[in-house]
Structure formats: structure tokens, C-alpha cells
Amino acid sequence: MCLLIGGYSLVEYPLWSPLFLVPFALFWGMASAPSPVGGKVLTFGTKITGLALAALAVTVLIPSISQYRAISTYTLMSTVPGGLQSIGFNARAMRANGVLPLFEPEIEFLEFQSIPVNGVDLDAKIALGNRVAMHYTTPATLEKLAALYIVKGAPMQAAERMAVVSRIYPKMAPEVAEMLRGAARAGNPVAARAMHIFDKISIGI
């Protein structure tokens, strides 16, 4: 059962299924009908312990499922401009309602998508964006991060993020690579650095 759960989780988003279901499966097996373990039958005390552990797992699982559903809804709304703000997304409340910090990467992703691009707490926003980009190299994440770097006055870093977008998602930003390549040929150092990043990704380095 654990192998089936583990295999299924590889194609499921987000990839947290084993963190809930594998322990639950193990606890459920411990609490099942008597079965030989090392040539002995499980005692009544062992069964009680297994049931207690299973109850604890369910206690954690139920609110985590609720949080997972909320995150799924927020993730869908994040694809709509202003969608997270319209439904009142609050990262602090999401963290407070969580039983375990299993969904922290998803919450940080949603938090980054909900923040405005301006000069307020700019360094903190960029730090958050870089953490999010480690898990979610989506166009929305990288483009917002590039915009924040522009606000900061760091065009080199912004160009690097846009080079990653144009390489990983060529159909979504086909004009970006051509624009950067043309500027690089004209001697623009920012574009030259961006195309260096682009070419490194293209040859798999």
C-alpha cells in the first residue's frame, strides 16, 4: 500500500501525499486484525497503541486536508489578476491554521503572488521571491521577481530571470529571447549576461 501511495504521489500536486498517507497506512496496519510479527501475535496493548497512533494521525490529517483544499482554491485564484486579493488571502492566517508546516512552500508561493510590485519592503519581497523560485520556476514567479529587481535598480538580475523564463517557457515569451539576443549583439552588457544564462540552460549546464 505504501508503495502504491508513493508511486501515485509522484504524479500528484503538490507532492505531499506520502507525508500524510504513508504514516496513516502504517498505523492502520498496526491496528488491523492479529497478524504474526516475528512469529508472535500482536497483543491487546500493541493494538491499543496502534489505534491511538492512528487516531493521532487522523487528528493531524483532517485539518491538513482542509488546508490543502484551501491552498488548491487559492492556487487556482492566483492565475487570475487580483484574484488572491479579491478573496482575502492572508498568509499569516494560513500558517496559524496549519497543524504542521508541510505546506510552507505553497503558502510562500501564494504570498509572493499576492504582494504588489513596489518599493515597500523591497529586499524582503525579493528574498521571498528567490525562495519561491527555488520550488516554482513559473513565468508568473520569475516575471514578478524580475519586476522587483527593476524597481530596486538591478537590471542585470532582472534580465537573468527573464532569460530563464524565455528558455524554460519559449512559447510563452518568444519575443524575449530575440530581444535579448539582439541587444547582446549590439553590446548591451545586461542583455549579454542574460543570454549567457540562456545559453547555459540550453546546453543543460
Q: Write the single-letter amino acid at 127.
A: A
Most confident of 31-45, 55-69, 96-110, 113-127: 113-127
- Residues 153-168: pLDDT tens digits? 888 888 888 888 777 7
Give the distance from CA 29 to its chain's centroid.
Answer: 31
Sign of CA dihedral 5, 9, 14, 15: positive
- Compute the distance between CA of residue 197 and CA of residue 70 in angstroms, rounded to an integer: 36
d(CA 51, CA 71): 30
Strand residue runs (E) in the chain: 36-37, 40-41
Mean pLDDT is lowest, of 7-11, 13-17, 130-134, 171-175, for 13-17
